[in-house]
Amino acid sequence: METTPTASLLNKILRGLKSFVSDVQGDKSLQAQFIFGLGNSERHWNRTGDDLLLSGERLLDYSFPDPSALPPAPTSSELLAFLDRRPRTNDAAIMLICMALECFYKARICANGGNPLPSETKAKHDLGALAAVAKVDGISKQDILRLTALSRHITWHGRYPVPTKPAFLLEARRSKEFPSDYEAATAENLRKTVDFLHDQIARCKE
């Protein structure tokens, strides 16, 4: 029977895959990761977390305008115009740093024996729940509650102007007791949230 171009291409892909798997002799976990979920491993979760963290940090550099760009004695209208030019990157920056922490938690879960990461954990975005599963030392109940509140930056706050699902709206209402420190839109309060997230990342990597 004549082989079609599509069938020929598929055969080449399958031969390449078999060759790759045979080259990784003795490493069953790597074979499983490649076949059933590329990148679902401690190494790849950590690498993705590092990339997201770096991106979030870069956005923080643009979150507030440079005061040296202000006139020596600005009028109120000049000050308002100056502040209005500020790139509003706070939400996106916090979203990326929270996503980085999520990846680091999942890398730790892999390191603790869940490698590759179970599918039910892979889909979780609740930082508080992930911290508990990752068995990170030194996290208080207050930290868990705050992490869960900050999880909204992953699910919607950093991506959409309003909650996109009824469950997210309920989460936002429950989170009022633990608002983001930076919501007053000051550099000092933004730094408090970032410092908290950095502290959690350091604990996770210990």
pLDDT value of position 14: 67
Which has more confidence, 150 or 82? 150
Q: Measuring CA to CA, how many Å separate 6 from each of 16, 20, 174?
A: 15, 21, 53
Say which residues have a Cβ less than 8 Å from residue 24's Cβ, sequence separation at least 6: 30, 31, 34
Element holding 120 (H helix, E strand): helix 119-122
Long-range contacts of 1-9 (CB under 8 A, 24+ apart): none
Q: Give yes or no for a cis peptide into 65 (omega within 30° of 0).
A: no
Q: What digits encode the pLDDT tens for the residues 66-86?
A: 666 666 776 777 766 766 666
Measured distance CA(52)–CA(49) in Å, rounded: 5
Q: What is the pLDDT of residues 180-196, one digit of tens each?
A: 444 444 566 677 888 99
Global pTM reads: 0.68
The number of beta carbons lying within 10 Å of the beta carbon of residue 81 is: 11
Distance CA 36, CA 9 (A): 21
The span from the CA of 7 to the CA of 13, in Å, is 10
Residues 95 and 194 sit within 8 Å (Cβ to Cβ): no
* Residues 133, 71: Cα–Cα separation, whole Å: 52
pLDDT tens per residue, range 13-28: 666 666 655 544 445 5
Pairwise CA distance, residues 107 & 101, whole Å? 10
Residue 21's Cα: distance from chain center in Å?
A: 30
List pLDDT tens digits, range 97-126. 999 999 999 999 988 886 666 666 766 888
